[in-house]
Structure 1
Amino acid sequence: MDTQKLHREIFKVSDGEKWHLEHPGLFSPFYEKLQKEYYNDQLCYCFDFVNTLKENSVGIVRESRFTEIPLHYHKDMELSIVYSGECTFNIQGNDMRLTTGDVCIIDTDVIHSAKYKGENDIVFNIVFRKSFFSSNFLAEVADKGILGDFFLNAIIDNRSHDNYLVFRTKENPKFFSIVDLLLFEYYWPSSCHASLIEHYLSILFLELINTLHQNTASYYQFNENQKNMMKILKYIEENFSNCSLAGLTKHTHFSTSYIFKLLKSMTGSNFSALKLQQQLKRAEFLLINTSLSITGIIEQVGLKNPTYFYNKFKEVYNKTPSEYRKMFAHRNQSVGLRAEQEEIRFFTKLD
């Protein structure tokens, strides 16, 4: 990938930006075609990305420099990336200064605006419908861990439309490497550009989940309960094989009653259920990606009762462990047969 070529294209002054340089302080004639409306007691525009998302589930827009973006909302979700320089967003009436490497995910129907951007201030908006999260590869994202589950639920919570999350990704060089790949497809589309852009976006979400694991300072627009929730989930995810409620309270310095109430209100589950959820996720990973015996997997994830494991795994994945492993047997053809033989031996002993 020619990054110099990409950067020349990114920083090129567009025709619209030339107009703003020639008409300082004025909004684009584009707004003359739009009607303002009162939404949540505020007079603002509704941006419709119907053309941007007409054929694809993901669209990319570089925000115009040398002007402000007035108050608006939209019916689709938006992931804004400060690619260079800085930008001040006003979201729900709060000014928020973001700099290079900052990412803001804005839910549908959130009223926001952006202040004037100079020559070196580059912001890309990736817009997508919530239905994007139902695709197969994002379903995989949700299966990577309970912290990832919580992250996605915070974004796509259908009970409210006032969510916005801000992340710092400056310390994650991989994130911007993926952004460059995505933008290269945007500017010079290949024959598979639509699928590639969707998959690059899913990888960006995975990297945001990585920032949650690596650095708690990376998420600074979460409220106190959400931050505490992530500390709890991170501890369970990293110590699922042997963690206990007593160990969790000692690690977080939260009371047992606070943990119980927080887990129930924000996930609908209790400590034991979340621990089991993570144990089963890890077992699924080991079944697919290793030749470790099922007995070995049960021991590694910290479960003591094989019957309990088999029952719970089938309850969640609708298949026995050996049946599930055989679905991916092309990775190791001998693994599926070995697992099936082991399962037969196990249930023969029960009989």
Structure 2
Amino acid sequence: MVNSILDKQLRELSDFEKRYSGTAEQPRHYSHLEDSELTLSNILDKPSIVPVDYFFKPDQNVVFLKHPRFIKFTEHRHSFIEMNYVYSGTCTQYINGKEVILKEGDLCLLDTNVIHGIESASENDIIINIMIRTSYFDSALIQRLSGNDLLTDFFVQAIYQQKKDSRYILFPKGQNNRLSEIIFQALEEYFHPQLCSNEAINSYMLLIFTELLRIYNSFSKNKEEPTFKKAIISDILSYMEQNYQTMTLETTAEKFHFHPNHLTRLLKTNLGKTFIELSHQLKIKNTCTLLDNTDLTIDQIANRVGYTNITFFYKSFKKIHGATPAEYRKKTSKSPTRL
């Protein structure tokens, strides 16, 4: 059920919008977030990168912003991840020179440095901009989605490889209203903060990306191109997640009736990593979990995750984390991720 107070707030004209509503000739500019109010920044004649501190306070990782109406935003780039969600009406963007029209309920995910501009929105066009620091996107979201890092990496690479020259993803409105409901609940927490709102928004962000994964999976099944290879890779990665302590290239290849060389090529082509690299990624990830949540000695942890060569274990861990397991355990903070 829509919160009428928030819905009214989103549809109301801000002081900024009132200045430009009905203006025949729109100024060309970029937006700058300062004390929750938009102000004009420098007028630029060529695509410019908008720095993180235009929108984010030092301790913020996620920012929700109602896109200003009646203003044409000329081409620009961001140093952060951006999602444009159409709450009401439509949104016309130009992404790398290509016109992209979003309808109500659609969402567009833009990678960093994508050149895009947005046409002037009318009064009924309510677009929500969700901006995410890349560090938060990588650590707090992608690595935690569905509890399966490898499958999520595969998802991200698969959808970006399809559009590797444009680096954006369009998610059409799903079969149900779950995404809309989750985004609206996140907006309520953001614009009307209560006790533990930061933690609630962190949870909503995970739910948003989980729903996007489901929407992508649903639409990918309806595409004409064969999905057999994707299904096989997903099965392989699930098997690796469950058997990381004992699996080898040979046993995994045998499980899926591949030659080891073919399995290596398949993973390298689709994930950009070899079987050995993926194996170490899984073992080190689970090492960190044990370091954070148990009192086991480091040698005991190494054995538990599948390392028999302790020297190689230390070398692998330091290569990934830039610190020894003991240093990592000492520095690890258990405080929740801040927004």
Kindly indicate whether the alpha-carbon contact (under 8 Å) linking 2:142 and 2:153 is maintained by their aligned counterparts in 1.
no
In structure 2, relative to structure 1, the CA distance for the partners of 1:136 and 1:128 (3 Å cut) is closer
Q: Aligned ranges for residues 219-234 of structure 1 at < 5 Å?
A: 230-234=230-234
CA distance in 2, matches of 1:313, 1:208: 36
Q: Aligned ranges for residues 111-150 of structure 1 at < 5 Å?
A: 111-136=115-140, 138-141=142-145, 143-144=147-148, 146-150=150-154
The equivalent residue for 2:290 is none
In structure 2, relative to structure 1, the CA distance for the partners of 1:22 and 1:98 (3 Å cut) is closer
Kindly indicate whether the alpha-carbon contact (under 8 Å) linking 1:168 and 1:219 is maintained by their aligned counterparts in 2.
no
**Could you tell me how far 1:91 is from its partner in structure 2?**
0.7
Q: What percent identity do the matched residue pairs reach?
A: 27
TM-score if structure 1 supplies the norm length?
Answer: 0.61
Q: 1:82 aligns with which of 86, 106, 131?
A: 86
CA distance in 1, matches of 2:41, 2:234: 48
The equivalent residue for 2:113 is 109
3-state SS of the aligned residue for 1:16?
Answer: helix
For residue 206 of structure 1, what is the amino acid of its counterpart? T
Deviations along 1:241-285, one digit per CA (max 9) or x if unpaired, are 9xx989999xxxxxxx9997554223135799989x99xx9xxxx
In structure 2, relative to structure 1, the CA distance for the partners of 1:48 and 1:161 (3 Å cut) is farther
Deviations along 1:182-233, one digit per CA (max 9) or x if unpaired, are 111122111322332232112211111122333326899xxx79x7864554
Is 2:48 the partner of 1:33? Answer: no
Is 2:207 the partner of 1:206? Answer: no
For residue 169 of structure 1, what is the amino acid of its counterpart? K
Unaligned runs of 5+ residues in structure 1 are 38-42, 250-256, 282-309, 318-351
Kindly indicate whether the alpha-carbon contact (under 8 Å) linking 2:90 and 2:104 is maintained by their aligned counterparts in 1.
yes
3-state SS of the aligned residue for 2:84?
Answer: strand
CA distance in 1, matches of 2:220, 2:255: 20
**Could you tell me how far 1:161 is from its partner in structure 2?**
9.1
CA distance in 2, matches of 1:219, 1:76: 30
In structure 2, relative to structure 1, the CA distance for the partners of 1:273 and 1:30 (3 Å cut) is closer
CA distance in 2, matches of 1:30, 1:130: 21
TM-score if structure 2 supplies the norm length?
Answer: 0.63
In structure 2, relative to structure 1, the CA distance for the partners of 1:264 and 1:139 (3 Å cut) is closer
**Could you tell me how far 1:179 is from its partner in structure 2?**
0.5
Kindly indicate whether the alpha-carbon contact (under 8 Å) linking 2:29 and 2:44 is maintained by their aligned counterparts in 1.
no
Q: Aligned ranges for residues 40-119 of structure 1 at < 5 Å?
A: 43-50=46-53, 52-54=55-57, 55-119=59-123
- Which structure carries more helix by proportion? 1
RMSD, matched Cα: 4.7
In structure 2, relative to structure 1, the CA distance for the partners of 1:269 and 1:131 (3 Å cut) is closer
CA distance in 2, matches of 1:26, 1:179: 30
CA distance in 1, matches of 2:176, 2:149: 20
CA distance in 2, matches of 1:218, 1:59: 33
CA distance in 2, matches of 1:246, 1:25: 67
Kindly indicate whether the alpha-carbon contact (under 8 Å) linking 2:157 and 2:271 is maintained by their aligned counterparts in 1.
no
Kindly indicate whether the alpha-carbon contact (under 8 Å) linking 1:90 and 1:96 is maintained by their aligned counterparts in 2.
yes
Is 2:272 the partner of 1:268? Answer: yes
Deviations along 1:277-314, one digit per CA (max 9) or x if unpaired, are 99xx9xxxxxxxxxxxxxxxxxxxxxxxxxxxx87599
In structure 2, relative to structure 1, the CA distance for the partners of 1:239 and 1:49 (3 Å cut) is closer
For residue 56 of structure 2, what is the amino acid of its counterpart? L
**Could you tell me how far 1:120 is from its partner in structure 2?**
2.0
Is 2:183 the partner of 1:166? Answer: no
Unaligned runs of 5+ residues in structure 2 are 32-39, 243-251, 286-303, 318-339
3-state SS of the aligned residue for 2:194?
Answer: coil
**Could you tell me how far 1:59 is from its partner in structure 2?**
0.5
Kindly indicate whether the alpha-carbon contact (under 8 Å) linking 1:109 and 1:162 is maintained by their aligned counterparts in 2.
no
Kindly indicate whether the alpha-carbon contact (under 8 Å) linking 2:81 and 2:134 is maintained by their aligned counterparts in 1.
yes
In structure 2, relative to structure 1, the CA distance for the partners of 1:84 and 1:219 (3 Å cut) is farther
For residue 201 of structure 1, what is the amino acid of its counterpart? M
The equivalent residue for 2:19 is 19
Kindly indicate whether the alpha-carbon contact (under 8 Å) linking 1:83 and 1:101 is maintained by their aligned counterparts in 2.
yes
Kindly indicate whether the alpha-carbon contact (under 8 Å) linking 2:93 and 2:116 is maintained by their aligned counterparts in 1.
yes
CA distance in 2, matches of 1:173, 1:233: 30
Count of residue pairs brought into register by the alignment:
279
3-state SS of the aligned residue for 1:141?
Answer: helix
For residue 188 of structure 1, what is the amino acid of its counterpart? H
In structure 2, relative to structure 1, the CA distance for the partners of 1:313 and 1:155 (3 Å cut) is farther
Kindly indicate whether the alpha-carbon contact (under 8 Å) linking 1:79 and 1:105 is maintained by their aligned counterparts in 2.
yes
In structure 2, relative to structure 1, the CA distance for the partners of 1:50 and 1:218 (3 Å cut) is farther
**Could you tell me how far 1:82 is from its partner in structure 2?**
1.5
